[in-house]
């Protein structure tokens, strides 16, 4: 899968420079995160609840010299959250989605399109040490977007997509405490975690 995505990115990079038409804009939206933990006990999995986050940043739309085909690329500040009991699990990162887009025009007023592509994430902070446990994030991660959208009057764009991790986003560790002193005796990995998200966004293209 990673080799396939790399080939897509290289093909897009080679196709864009000479004949692509470019529009710049600003994009923002909401994340509804879903945190899953591999090998964790079922009762712990069920205790993690989704919470809304957000993302915002510059975006670029490349229209290629092939009817209906284009590429969207962005650099987004992204914040995602989950709730485990009384504790908030949070991640903050820079996300760089590069989506291949295929659209169908509806006259001069609108275009509807489907898109898919890789998203590269770079951790800025987050995680959580909550006494008996710890949520630790990787420094970088790779995910994939699949979604649909529409552009109205060539400037206003709305999209909905699902973003799912292709590898682990982080790990959840549990601390074993000494019953008398309260000191940490050992740290055990409860499981590797993935943070997926439904995303809704709007963008204005200049």
Q: What is residue 100's predicted lDDT score, i.e. its pLDDT?
A: 95
Beta strands 128-129 and 87-106 are unpaired
Q: Residue 183: pLDDT above 70?
A: no
Q: What is residue 133's predicted lDDT score, i.e. its pLDDT?
A: 66
Q: Residue 188: pLDDT above 60?
A: yes
> 3-state class of 44 per DSSP?
helix
Q: What is residue 203's predicted lDDT score, i.e. its pLDDT?
A: 98
CATH class of 2-9+24-205: mainly beta
Q: How far apart are CA 199 and CA 191, in angstroms?
A: 25
pLDDT tens digits for range 136-180 = 888 899 999 999 999 999 899 999 999 999 988 887 777 676 666
User: Alpha carbon of 180 to those of 111, 198, 206: distances in Å?
Assistant: 66, 45, 64
Q: What is residue 90's predicted lDDT score, i.e. its pLDDT?
A: 81
- The secondary structure of 156-193 as a DSSP string is EEEEEEEEEESS--EEEEEEEEPTTT--EEEEEEEEEE
Question: What residues are paired with 33 via a beta bridge?
Answer: 197
pLDDT tens digits for range 12-31 = 555 455 556 899 999 999 99
């Amino acid at each position: 899968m990673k080799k396939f995505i790399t080939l897509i990115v290289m093909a897009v990079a080679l196709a864009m420079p000479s004949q692509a038409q470019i529009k710049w804009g600003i994009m923002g939206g909401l994340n509804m995160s879903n945190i899953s933990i591999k090998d964790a006990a079922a009762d712990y999995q069920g205790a993690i609840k989704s919470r809304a986050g957000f993302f915002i940043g510059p975006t670029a739309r490349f229209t290629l010299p092939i009817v209906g085909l284009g590429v969207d690329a962005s650099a987004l500040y992204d914040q995602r959250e989950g709730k485990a009991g009384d504790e908030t699990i949070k991640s903050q990162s820079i996300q760089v989605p590069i989506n291949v887009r295929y659209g169908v025009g509806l006259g001069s007023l609108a275009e509807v399109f489907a898109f898919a592509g890789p998203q590269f994430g770079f951790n800025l902070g987050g995680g959580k040490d909550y006494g008996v446990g710890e949520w630790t994030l990787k420094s970088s991660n790779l995910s994939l977007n699949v979604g649909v959208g529409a552009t109205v009057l060539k400037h206003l764009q709305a999209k909905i997509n699902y973003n799912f991790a292709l590898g682990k986003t982080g790990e959840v560790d549990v601390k074993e405490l000494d019953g008398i002193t309260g000191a940490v005796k050992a740290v055990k990995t409860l499981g590797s975690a993935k943070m997926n998200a439904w995303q809704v966004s709007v963008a204005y293209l200049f």
